[in-house]
Amino acid sequence: METRTDTHSKLFGYLLWIFGFLGSHRFYYGKPITGTIWFFTLGLLFIGWIIDLFLIPSMDREADFRFREGEVSYNIGWLLLTFTGVFGLHRMYMGKWISGIIYLLTGGLFLLGVLYDFWTLNDQISERNREHRFD
């Protein structure tokens, strides 16, 4: 049986759930399609948002199995993306200095890069942690 690492925090998931009618907790747990739907429908008119209060533990378990732990923390990466995404601090944190500086100078590539990162940040961190493991 595969051992489970705690890559994502339930506490952080619940904190993002407070803004979950915008889909932030779903993006955090690696569900970008439903995160986008939640964003455009206000959490499916708040009903899905309330149901998610009870689904967060299972989303957390699924994310812990799906993503790789390592030097780069998912919690810090998501915190930086959520609150400073247009400045590229999350990219600099992952060691992507060039794209981080480009984000800083262009407002997160005119917000399109930030949207891309909301869809792919978990995979970017997982890949970065995989690379660091073999260094």
pLDDT at 94: 96
Tell me what the mean pLDDT of segment 93-101 comes to.
Answer: 97
pLDDT at 22: 82
Pairwise CA distance, residues 102 & 27, whole Å: 23
* pLDDT band at residue 132 under the 50/70/90 scheme: confident
pLDDT at 135: 57
Residues 6 or more apart whose Cβ sits within 8 Å of residue 65: 2, 4
Q: What is the DSSP letter of 86?
A: G
Do 87 and 66 meet the contact criterion of CB atoms below 8 Å apart?
A: no
- How far are the Cα atoms of 51, 84, 95, 112 from residue 119, in angstroms, in the given order? 22, 16, 19, 11
Structure tokens at 27: 């993006």
